[in-house]
Amino acid sequence: MSTARRAAVAYGVNDFVEVQTREVAVTGRVRRSGTALWRRMPDRILVHDRAEIHDLRGPAVAVWALLAEPQTLDQIVAELGDRFVGDRADIAADTATLLEQLRALGVVEVAR
Amino acid sequence: MITPEPPNTLLWLAASLLVGEGEPPDHCPERTDMSLVQAAREHRCLGLVIDAMDRGVLRASPAVRTQGLDLHAIDMHRCLVAEATLNDLGAQFAEAGVEPIVLKGVALAHLAYPDPAWRAFQDVDLLIPTEQIDAATDALVRAGLRRDLCERRRGWDRRFAKDITFDHPSGVEIDLHRTLAPGAFGFWIDEALLVGNPAMFTLGSQSHRALGPEARVLHAVYSLTVAEQTPRLCHALDLALTLRSSDRDQFLGLAMSSRAGLLVEEALALLRRWLGPASVPSGWWPPGMGSGRRLERLARRTYRSGGGSNTTTLLGGAVAVSGFRARAAYVGGLLWPSSEYRSQRAAGNRPNELRTGLRELVQRSRG
């Protein structure tokens, strides 16, 4: 299973595009893109990327909430590590992949 | 399709949004079933039920909860597509010099509700200043949108149409409104007061204009009385939530100059019946303001209730058109639309307007 797919499964993200992942996928601080349209539901977040709608579930909901403010990968991983059970290295890898996917969709941007 | 009255549990949830929760009343079922989910969906406020389930205020089986969440996701999916469609149209309107005002669900979900997921909607409704109607329709045609019916007669859109409907490739219906209600009450609206003092809201990073709070209250009044086939609970909530942030005296001025006092009284009575007396702040509407003049009472009788066509409503609109020539043009356009318009209606299997109107008139005179 590719890293991207593993992250998608771990985060309960449906119909995600496969993206090229890098060793350090996202650097700097990232946040939700100002252009993203989305709705919060009790069990998921619906995000419109200008082409289609994606369904974020599980820990991805928590990541989306954190991205209301600019965050580094380390900050997100620290927060998730407090909330979810799992190996910290796996959480970091999955989160990096998720952020890269969200950035590829244009719904997350690097904060200036 | 006629929407049945909202069930008591849904009314209690909606009232709780306004005045805070007390103990669930006796009529609240031990467990929520799909009938409540379906009713909430028809009244465009399933988000309220989902939120109540999530907080444990309403108890539901896992199956009902899952189905409810999935139906809510479908509704919210459609809302997001509608919002994205509106954002896409922004550039076309700007290029044509058109300044639309976003109406109804799209604007209200973001301006009136604590969470936009609590107000579902399906279409994009835009109020277009009268002098920009032709430019707006041209812009949408140039953008490749399909108009559902051609103009009734040349010049009709700008002078007399209530709204013009376009189908967007995204599947979202775009309604360009010249006014907020069909028939006489639509003609009586004071456009200058209505569009003055607009509000702003953003979808993603794009800013949009909406009606100011007092005009939004008036629009909710029309929705609860004369603009929709049957009132939905979301329209009552729109009214209750918006009037709390509006200026009473400014609203009185707008309502009275639009000859809508009769409708305001009717809408507030429905609001009190559905959501309780606390839904209308005391003293908000002076008693006796809504009795209306004879012409307004007569016009009110031309509106359908619970079905039928809107032919009598449209004919009744003649009483509100100023000037003999304009009135003659209006009635002439109603009775003798262009052949292209008639053939498009026939091709779309829409009922013959004259026949339906005559049948309604006969039924009403007997009733």
Q: What does the pLDDT profile of chain B (367 residues) look like in tens digits?
A: 566 889 999 999 999 888 776 666 666 666 788 999 999 999 999 999 999 999 988 999 999 999 999 999 999 999 999 999 999 999 999 999 999 999 999 999 999 999 999 999 999 999 999 999 999 999 999 999 999 999 999 999 999 999 999 999 999 999 999 999 999 999 999 988 898 889 999 999 899 999 999 999 999 999 999 988 889 999 999 999 999 889 999 999 999 999 999 999 999 999 999 999 889 988 888 877 777 688 888 888 888 654 456 778 888 888 899 999 999 999 999 889 999 999 999 888 887 777 777 777 777 666 5
**What is the pLDDT at residue B290?**
72
Is A36–B203 a contact, with Cβ atoms under 8 angstroms apart? no
Is B117–A50 a contact, with Cβ atoms under 8 angstroms apart? no
Structure tokens at B65: 């909860």
CA distance A8 to chain B (A): 19
Structure tokens at B93: 């309107």
In this predicted structure, the answer to whether residue A11 has a pLDDT above a threshold of 80 is no
Cα dihedral B311→B210→B128→B217 (10° resolution): 30
pLDDT-derived band at A15 (thresholds 50, 70, 90) equals very low
Residue whose tokens read 């890098």? A22
Please tell me what DSSP assigns to residue B278: G
Radius of gyration of chain B (CA): 21
Q: Which residue of A has its CA nearest to B88?
A: A50
- Whether this prediction's pTM lies above 0.80 is answered by yes
**What is the pLDDT at residue A26?**
63
Which of A33, A35, A40, A41 should be substituted to probe chain B, the one whose Cβ sees the most B Cβ atoms within 10 Å? A41
Q: What is the mean pLDDT of residues A46-75?
A: 93
In this predicted structure, the answer to whether residue A41 has a pLDDT above a threshold of 50 is yes
Gap between the Cα atoms of B160 and B172, Å rounded: 24
| Size of the A and B interface in Cβ pairs below 8 Å | 48
Residue whose tokens read 């041209």? B138
Is B84–A42 a contact, with Cβ atoms under 8 angstroms apart? no
Residue B340 contacts A where some CB pair is shorter than 8 Å: no
Which of B67, B77, B85, B88 should be substituted to probe chain A, the one whose Cβ sees the most A Cβ atoms within 10 Å? B77
Structure tokens at B84: 């994205």
Is B83–A37 a contact, with Cβ atoms under 8 angstroms apart? yes
- Checking ipTM against 0.95, whether it exceeds it is no
Residue B67: how many other CB atoms lie within 10 Å: 15
**What is the pLDDT at residue B163?**
94
Please tell me what DSSP assigns to residue B290: T
Q: Which strands sit side by side in the sheet containing A108-110, from one edge to the other?
A: A71-72, A29-32, A108-110
- Least confident stretch, A36-40, A42-46, B3-7, B28-32: B28-32
Is B50–A38 a contact, with Cβ atoms under 8 angstroms apart? no
- Least confident stretch, A22-36, A48-62, B140-154, B341-355: A22-36
In this predicted structure, the answer to whether residue A16 has a pLDDT above a threshold of 80 is no
Is A41–B76 a contact, with Cβ atoms under 8 angstroms apart? yes
In this predicted structure, the answer to whether residue A103 has a pLDDT above a threshold of 90 is yes
**What is the pLDDT at residue B306?**
46
In this structure, which long-range contacts are made by residues B277-280, counting pairs with CB atoms below 8 Å and at least 24 apart in sequence? Answer: B278/B15, B278/B18, B278/B19, B279/B15, B279/B18, B279/B19, B279/B236, B279/B240, B280/B240, B280/B243
- Residue A100 near residue A26, CB atoms below 8 Å: yes
Burial profile B126-144: b = 16 or more Cβ within 10 angstroms, e = fewer: bbbeeebbbebbebbeebe
Is A41–B116 a contact, with Cβ atoms under 8 angstroms apart? no
**What is the pLDDT at residue B236?**
96
Chain B residues 214-233 within an 8 A CB cutoff of chain A: none
Measured on CA atoms in the order B126, B131, B132, B137, is the torsion positive or negative? positive
Angle at B36 between CA B32 and CA B38, to 5 degrees: 135
Gap between the Cα atoms of B50 and B65, Å rounded: 8
